[in-house]
């Protein structure tokens, strides 16, 4: 029950209902081991990160407003990436082993690359109309723009850079991977989860586009 | 968005076709198909995303929490018949002992 409770608590908003459904089944499973296997299996839902589904114009309008607000954040992310690059450049100079030097170079290159790409993609915040119909169309356009970007050459390279960045983080530890096995294991787990999330991004965006289309279809 | 086909998905669809109009519990589907929760629920979620599956909560009884219920939509039933039918045709077409040679 505790495992199922944890899954419900940490499930993403779009998966909460499914996590609840999984958790409720535990009470009706005969046998403690079968119930435990069910509960452990239900943690698979935690890997599926999705926003709350958009089922009405109000939901879509809210998402449109959040898009508009996030348009100005690219500069902050790029600044963080450039700072990370600078820090790892200093670490590169003081690196004790070849592994650390390679990892630091990977971090410098990927963070500079990600910083520049995000900066180049930054757009100006737009004044939004109050009309729900306009907000819905704006949301759809933004999602399509995101999807097309993620599928483009630059988008794919940005995702690859993201994965390499996290791999580089695991390998930069002083003393090598065996110096701190717990940190290494945790780092590998984070890398795997981040890779899965990054690879699934275009599909998640397409899913949101389908939700907006469904909302538009219902009101036509 | 295209729906990914897999033997596990076909098993779930075939299970729903056993009782087309009845709402089903997740654990019952898992037990009958032999699929674990971690395999079954992504399939159910994908079916729901494609509007092939509808979900509902059971009416709460005293002392028991309501359970999540699942049933194929009309489109889902049509899709299930196509997929299960196509799988049956493929199985019939495949030679039993690797085919005749010589």
> CB atoms < 10 A from the CB of B45, how many?
19
Look at B37 and A44 and tell me if their CB atoms are within 8 Å. yes
- In which element (H, E) is residue A25 found? helix A16-25
Average pLDDT of the residues in A49-76: 77
A9: pLDDT strictly greater than 70:
yes
Task: Confirm if A188 and A40 have CB atoms less than 8 A apart.
Answer: no
A116: pLDDT strictly greater than 80:
yes
A89: pLDDT strictly greater than 90:
yes
CA A104, A84, A147: angle at the middle one, nearest 5?
100
Name the interface residues of A facing B (CB cutoff 8 Å): 15, 17-18, 20-22, 24-25, 27-29, 37-38, 40-45, 48, 203, 206-207, 210, 214
Average pLDDT of the residues in A77-88: 91
pLDDT computed for residue A125 by the predictor:
66
> Of the candidates A42, A203, A206, which has its C-beta nearest B38's C-beta?
A42
Would you place residue B101 in the very low, low, confident or very high pLDDT band (cuts 50, 70, 90)? very low
Pairing mode of beta strands B53-57, B68-72: antiparallel
Percent of chain A surpassing pLDDT 70: 91
Q: How far is Cα A166 from Cα A110, in angstroms, rounded to an integer?
A: 10
**For the ranges A36-40, B69-73, B96-100, the one whose mean pLDDT is highest:** B69-73
Q: Between A and B, how many residue pairs show a Cβ–Cβ distance under 8 A?
A: 63
Q: How far is Cα A140 from Cα A209, in angstroms, rounded to an integer?
A: 6
- What are the sequence ranges of the domains in chain B? 7-90
- In which element (H, E) is residue A38 found? helix A32-42
Q: Which fold has domain B7-90?
A: Arc Repressor Mutant, subunit A (1.10.10)
Q: How many helices (H) and strands (E) does chain B have?
A: 4, 3
pLDDT computed for residue A219 by the predictor:
67
Average pLDDT of the residues in B6-27: 92
Q: How far is Cα A166 from Cα A197, in angstroms, rounded to an integer?
A: 13
Model ipTM?
0.79
Interface test with B, best of A44, A53, A143, A196 (most B CBs within 10 A): A44
pLDDT computed for residue A203 by the predictor:
83
Strand B53-57: give its sheet, edge to edge.
B24-25, B68-72, B53-57
For A131, list phi and psi in degrees, rounded to 5.
-70, 130
pLDDT computed for residue B1 by the predictor:
47
Residues on chain B touching A48 (C-beta within 8 angstroms): 42, 45
pLDDT computed for residue B66 by the predictor:
87
Q: Which of A32, A41, A29 lies closest to A4, judged by CA? A: A41
- What are the sequence ranges of the domains in chain A? 2-47, 57-218
Q: What is the mean pLDDT of chain A?
A: 84
A114 token code pair: 């990600």
A174: pLDDT strictly greater than 90:
no
B96: pLDDT strictly greater than 60:
no
Q: How far is Cα B59 from Cα B35, in angstroms, rounded to an integer?
A: 26
Would you place residue A58 in the very low, low, confident or very high pLDDT band (cuts 50, 70, 90)? confident
The pLDDT tens digits of the residues spanning B52-94 come to 999 999 877 777 778 999 999 999 999 999 888 877 666 655 5
> CB atoms < 10 A from the CB of A34, how many?
14
Average pLDDT of the residues in A136-142: 84
pLDDT computed for residue A49 by the predictor:
76
Q: Where are the beta strands (DSSP E) in A21-127?
A: none
């Amino acid at each position: 029950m505790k495992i199922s409770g944890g899954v419900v608590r940490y499930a993403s908003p779009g998966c909460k209902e499914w996590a609840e459904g999984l958790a409720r089944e535990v009470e009706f499973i005969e046998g403690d081991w079968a119930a435990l296997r069910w509960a452990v299996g239900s943690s698979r839902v935690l890997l599926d990160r999705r926003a709350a589904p958009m089922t009405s114009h109000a939901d879509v309008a809210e998402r449109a407003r959040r898009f508009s607000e996030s348009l100005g954040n690219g500069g902050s992310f790029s600044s963080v990436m450039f700072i990370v690059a600078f820090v790892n450049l200093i670490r590169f100079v003081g690196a004790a082993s070849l592994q650390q030097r390679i990892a630091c170079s990977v971090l410098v290159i990927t963070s500079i690359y990600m910083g520049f790409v995000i900066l180049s993609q930054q757009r100006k915040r737009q004044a939004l109309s109050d009309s729900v119909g306009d907000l819905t169309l704006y949301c759809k356009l933004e999602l399509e723009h995101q999807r097309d970007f993620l599928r483009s050459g630059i988008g794919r390279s940005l995702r690859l850079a993201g994965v390499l960045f996290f791999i580089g983080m695991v390998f930069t530890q002083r003393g090598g991977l065996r110096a701190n096995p717990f940190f290494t294991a945790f780092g590998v787990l984070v890398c795997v989860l981040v890779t899965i999330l990054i690879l699934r991004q275009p599909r998640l965006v397409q899913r949101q586009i389908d939700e907006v289309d469904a909302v538009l279809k219902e009101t036509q | 968005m295209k729906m990914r086909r897999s033997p596990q998905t076909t098993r779930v669809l075939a299970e729903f076709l056993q009782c087309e109009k009845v709402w089903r519990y997740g654990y019952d589907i898992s037990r009958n198909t032999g699929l674990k929760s971690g395999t079954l629920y992504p399939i159910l979620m994908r079916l729901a995303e494609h509007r092939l599956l509808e979900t509902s909560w059971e009416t709460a009884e005293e002392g028991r929490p309501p359970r999540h219920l699942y049933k194929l939509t009309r489109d889902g039933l049509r899709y299930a018949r196509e997929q299960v039918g196509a799988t049956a045709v493929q199985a019939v077409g495949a030679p039993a002992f690797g085919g005749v040679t010589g």
